A and B are shown apart, each in its own frame.
Chain A
Amino acid sequence: MPENLKIEVIPEGTVIDHIPAGKWLKVVEILHLTKPNGGTLLIASNVPSKKLGRKDIVKVEGRYLSEEEVNKIALIAPMATVNIVKDYKIVEKFNVEIPDEVVGILHCPNPNCVSNHEYVLPRFRVESREPLKLRCHYCERTIEGEEILGNL
């Protein structure tokens, strides 16, 4: 059995590995898994990890991720790996990547930003990845850290 599937194997779906310890709930929220969707949801938190020290793992049965969802996860877990499982085997594996632009994912925290009032997709330019810093395309304000997580 592959090491990263230690907790429980799913027949098909997605395994999101290398989530920073404690951030699994945010991942579950981003993927709207707080309500049961038919498949099994497996969570392992605070698992020892060579790469991160401690990590969380989220396994979702019967569900694959859109690019938008993968990008969202990258904002809170830039080291995460996504494994696509079919027939109990990992058929595809990739690292998440913070894109140059973040479109339609998080809201601008500036209440006076036009993107919160008009019919328009919120849009941010990634100014720095480490630490993560985004600049709103419309109001030009920058947001970092907790403020990003709070507006996802």
Chain B
Amino acid sequence: MDWKGRDVISIRDFSKEDIEFVLKTAERLENELNEKGALDYARGKILATLFFEPSTRTRLSFESAMHRLGGSVIGFSSAASTSVKKGESLADTIKTVEQYSDVIVIRHPMEGAARLAAEVAEIPVINAGDGSNQHPTQTLLDLYTIKMAFGKIDGLTIGLLGDLKYGRTVHSLAEALTFYDVELYLISPELLRMPKHIIEELREKGVKVHEMTDLEGAIPELDVLYVTRIQRERFPDEEEYMKVKGSYRVNLEVLRKAKETLKVMHPLPRVDEIHPEVDKTKHALYFRQVFSGVPVRMALLGLTLGVLEV
């Protein structure tokens, strides 16, 4: 696979080999970073972060990754401050920005915006979230976190908890996990079950799937519990949201039934799904998960820029 110039738009474009290669490269970079403190693979290269809607964490993670690679960053963090507000097309914005930079990271409220940007741009484009569609770097960092915590992904029993209907991160994570030999517990309120077509796809690809509403029943089985927030803005109507908000709370009480080695993950920010008392236990993996974003994004930036020897 030729990585130089490649776009990172959808986890659906990735093969298992691609995923493994990114994880391996991230691990290598993390080790180098620990050894040397700073790297200079991307010296002289410029990343443009185009955040048409705010997502401070994702933006900071990409910026940190580029700085740690020795490169520099330009960009904007809301469409309100740009010519987009005056009606400039996305294509024109991209064609302009690519004159200033070597790689583009885009976050956009419309589904498909990153794909369109990649078609327009000559330089690589990385999707940092397009509406409710894709957020491939999140999925890669989730996989990386699991791999670093357990040394493997195969053979694990993983629980996905919360909003499995609208949750973009759990959809792509589930799709990526079809490449591995895992058992999945899908734990959600009835109203927020994983879409049928994804469950069918999981089963077709040989993943053992259990659907349930009750967290306590599943928790003793799990190696990983991936918690998601039930987000009001994803609900078409308020009434549906009120019925399910606060359905699950992961606290010390719930975790008493868990394996000692259980790791809890969450694509932060959280509201009240995980009690802060869990933070100090060895179950908490969610801050390490945030950290994983840096080496994974360093790997993607370095590979697509073609500055890492492959």
Contacts and interface: CB of A to CB of B under 8 A. Distances in A.
Do A and B make up one complex?
Answer: yes
Interface string B78-116: 000000000001110000000000000000111111011
Given A119-B89, A138-B115, A140-B133, A114 B10 contact: no
Of the candidates B112, B116, B130, B133, the one having the most CB atoms from chain A within 10 angstroms of its own CB is B112
A112 interface: yes
A91 B197 CA distance: 46
Interface residues of B, number: 19
A114 B113 contact: yes
Contact of A113 (B12, B90, B91, B112): B112
B138 interface: no
A137 B110 contact: no
Contacts of A117: 110
Interface in A108-133: 110, 112-115, 117-120
Given A138-B115, A138-B116, A140-B111, A119 B131 contact: no
A118 B89 contact: yes
A119 B133 CA distance: 20
A112 B131 contact: yes
A118 to B, nearest CB: 5
Nearest to B10: A140
A115 B116 CA distance: 8
Contacts of A110: 111
B49 interface: no
Interface in B123-166: 130-134
A82 interface: no
B91 A118 contact: yes
Contact of B111 (A119, A120, A139, A142): A139
B116 A141 contact: no
A138 B91 contact: no
B111 A113 contact: yes
B111 A141 contact: yes
A114 B110 contact: yes
A27 interface: no
A118 B133 CA distance: 17
Contacts of A112: 109-111, 131-132
Interface in B45-97: 89-91
Interface string A3-46: 00000000000000000000000000000000000000000000
A136 interface: yes
Contacts of B110: 112-114, 117, 139
Interface in B190-217: 197
Contacts of B91: 118-120
Contact of A139 (B12, B89, B133, B197): B133
A112 B131 CA distance: 8
Contacts of A136: 112
Contact of B112 (A114, A119, A142): A114
B134 A140 contact: yes
B127 to A, nearest CB: 11
A56 to B, nearest CB: 33
Contacts of A139: 110-112, 130-131, 133
A102 B93 CA distance: 27
Contacts of A120: 91, 116
Nearest to A119: B89
Nearest to B131: A112
Contacts of B112: 113-115, 136-140
Given A119-B89, A137-B112, 16 more contacts: A112-B109, A114-B90, A114-B111, A114-B115, A114-B116, A114-B130, A115-B112, A117-B110, A118-B90, A119-B91, A120-B91, A139-B112, A140-B12, A140-B111, A140-B112, A141-B111
8 contacts: A113-B110, A115-B112, A118-B89, A118-B91, A119-B91, A137-B112, A139-B131, A141-B111
The 4 closest A-B pairs by CB, nearest first: A138-B112, A139-B111, A114-B112, A139-B112
